[in-house]
Amino acid sequence: MSETTEVINELLTGFGLNDSYRTSSLELLEAGESRYLRDLKVNFNSILTSEHLSAKEIALIAISVSVNNHNKPLIAYFTQMAQQNEATAEEIAEATACASLLSSNNIFYRFRHFTQKEKYSQIPARIRMQIMVKPVTGKEFFELMSLAVSAVNGCEMCVNAHEDSLIKLGTTEERIFDTVRIASLITATGKIIF
């Protein structure tokens, strides 16, 4: 067995997937004996710890990003991690709901930002967002999940608004930075494991 295949098998085992599981991306990396797989493994492992976020918070952010990215293996992995770190079914559901809500908001507000037309800012959005008013996970943490999804979806207006809200709520820049770092690495992993 090649070193590349060994690294793939270690990754798959970590996700609870069978050694024979392959995506087209994994097949290409394996055929080319890509050194990137070692980076991917190290990067993924760095998602699992933070000096500024608890394991439960990491798992919930990861669920939200994984749902946003339609990644079944990662959703399953991080749901299990969340449960092992005492996340409730309601908190896991809220992380899932956050991904859905923010996807609509990111499209809508990105459109407003792109067009820069005052008229579109005057028309009511008519997007119901009651979950944001009193989130189960708390306002600060819901803002962190919202920031993560918005960063992945590339909505500048939303990223700025959520980051500003977090700063006003007293969140440290290190906590914000770790959230976005985790979102970026989950998205990168999801390009290979899906």
- H or E element that contains 153: helix 139-153
- Sign, CA torsion 122/161/47/52: negative
Rounded to whole angstroms, the Cα distance separating 126 from 60 reads 27
Of 145, 151, 155, 159, the active-site residue reads 155
Of 152, 158, 183, 186, the active-site residue reads 158
Q: Which residue matches tokens 């992995």?
A: 77
3-state secondary structure (DSSP) of residue 4:
helix
Please enumerate in sequence order all residues whose Cβ is within 8 A of that of 169, keeping only pairs 6 or more positions apart, or say none. 139, 140, 143
Asked about 98 being catalytic, the answer comes back as no
Asked about 158 being catalytic, the answer comes back as yes
- Sign, CA torsion 155/76/133/178: negative
Rounded to whole angstroms, the Cα distance separating 99 from 75 reads 12
Are residues 110 and 159 in contact, defined by beta-carbon separation less than 8 angstroms?
no
Of residues 33, 38, 107, the one with CA closest to residue 68: 107
For the annotated catalytic residues, the residue numbers are 155, 158
